[in-house]
Amino acid sequence: MSAETPVCQLLDRQDTHYHDWLWVAPPADDWLQHAGGQLMSADHSLLADWQARDRRAHSPFVDSPPAPPGVVLFWPKTHALGEWWLLWLCARLEPGTPLHVVGENQGGIKRVLKVLAALGLGCRKLDSARRCSLFASRLDRVALDPDDAWTRFEAEGLHLVSHPGVFGHGKLDEGTRLLLSRLDAGLPQGGSALDMGCGDGILAAWLARRGHSVTAVDVNGFAVESTRRTLAANDLPGDVFHGDVYSGLGQRCFDAIVSNPPFHQERAVDYGPAARLIEEAPRHLQPGGQLWLVANAFLPYPNLLERAFGTFEILADDRRFRVYRAVKR
């Protein structure tokens, strides 16, 4: 099987036998499963795909780490997230385990040289092609704790906990701020509410503080853990699930669905999750239930809302963001 992504194409031409190695935070590429490795990822969609094919797949927040013969870390576009993965691997896997780090040049892979040097880990360049680079090192114990990457800050009178790779890391997104200002006046208190794409948990915590019975979902395991920590930091109740849009919720229905949906997958624009959020929302709302969305003004959501609900309102438009509300009749 041929590799599809540039980083996997670079790995495919190596002499290294990657069977049973641990693929850490990789892209979706069937070549990885064909090569015989095992997965470590915080992405629910990727984990579910591997598990559906009876492949070994692990979450850093659920499973005990395996003891692989080697590790390939796919460097993410969020530099601080790549550093966290390095620290996590050094803290949890055996010292001396071979480590390969691969990534696209435009994604900052060349900065890995300085990161590894700062951690006292040796490094050498193995190969470069397809505008990607591959470096080799070995894991070892380092003085830094990966848990130090968790960030605490305050917004809207709430204590928020965030992590590199989570949307709006370390600050309140302006679109979310606009959404909250309209929710405060337009959404009745109480009832059941679903925070879809929960991020650091600001919406879930805000809703729970106002008496809603809250459920929160995110495809990103770091966001799920952030939301759980945010709710705990504010002594607020809520159920938080690792899932892809409505997967895992069954036939559950809510009085309100609230979201600041993503439209990027790494650097690519991807309307798929937001489209599913809107199109399937009526099936997960009680009669009279409301869908609240905030989105960049240029995004093509009005057509999706009209198709799913028949009608909708624009409650705010500051030329950057719009707040939409649609009601299930």
| Predicted confidence (pLDDT) per residue in 90-147, tens digit | 999 999 999 999 999 998 898 999 999 999 999 999 999 999 999 999 999 999 999 9
Give the burial class of 327: count Cβ atoms within 10 A of its Cβ; 0-12 exposed, 13-18 middle, 19 or more buried: middle
Full domain range(s) for residue 42: 6-146
Rounded Cα distance between 48 and 66, Å, is 18
User: C-alpha distances in angstroms, 236 versus 8, 11, 177, 216?
Assistant: 43, 46, 20, 13
The verdict on residue 103 lying in a domain is yes
293 within domain boundaries:
yes
pLDDT of residue 300: 86
Does the residue 237 lie in any domain?
yes
Q: Are residues 136 and 163 in the same domain?
A: no
Which of 146, 163, 188 delimits the end of a domain? 146
pLDDT of residue 196: 97
Tell whether 84 and 123 lie within a shared domain. Answer: yes
Q: Are residues 255 and 290 in the same domain?
A: yes
In a domain, 271, yes or no: yes
pLDDT of residue 270: 59
Q: Are residues 161 and 51 both part of a single domain?
A: no
Numbers of helices and strands, H then E, in the chain:
10, 18
Do 108 and 219 lie in a common domain?
Answer: no
Report the CATH number at residue 215. 3.40.50.150
Closest-CA residue to 78 (of 169, 198, 161):
169
What is the predicted pLDDT for the residue at 268? 53
- Do 183 and 125 fall into the same domain? no
pLDDT attached to residue 264: 45
Are residues 186 and 207 both part of a single domain?
yes
Q: What are 86's two structure tokens?
A: 């390095």
Amino acid sitting at position 82: G
* End residue of a domain, out of 146, 176, 191: 146
Pair (184, 323) in one structural domain: yes
Q: What is the pLDDT of residue 62?
A: 84
Same domain, 30 and 168: no
Identify the domain boundary among 146, 169, 204.
146
Whether residue 173 sits in one domain with residue 102? no
Q: Looking at the domain assignment, is residue 1 inside a domain? A: no
Q: How many domains does the chain have?
A: 2
Residues of the chain with pLDDT under 50: 264, 266-267
- Check whether residue 257 and residue 269 sit in a common domain: yes
* The predicted structure's pLDDT at residue 260: 95
Q: Is residue 28 located within the same domain as residue 142?
A: yes
Please give the pLDDT value at position 297.
86
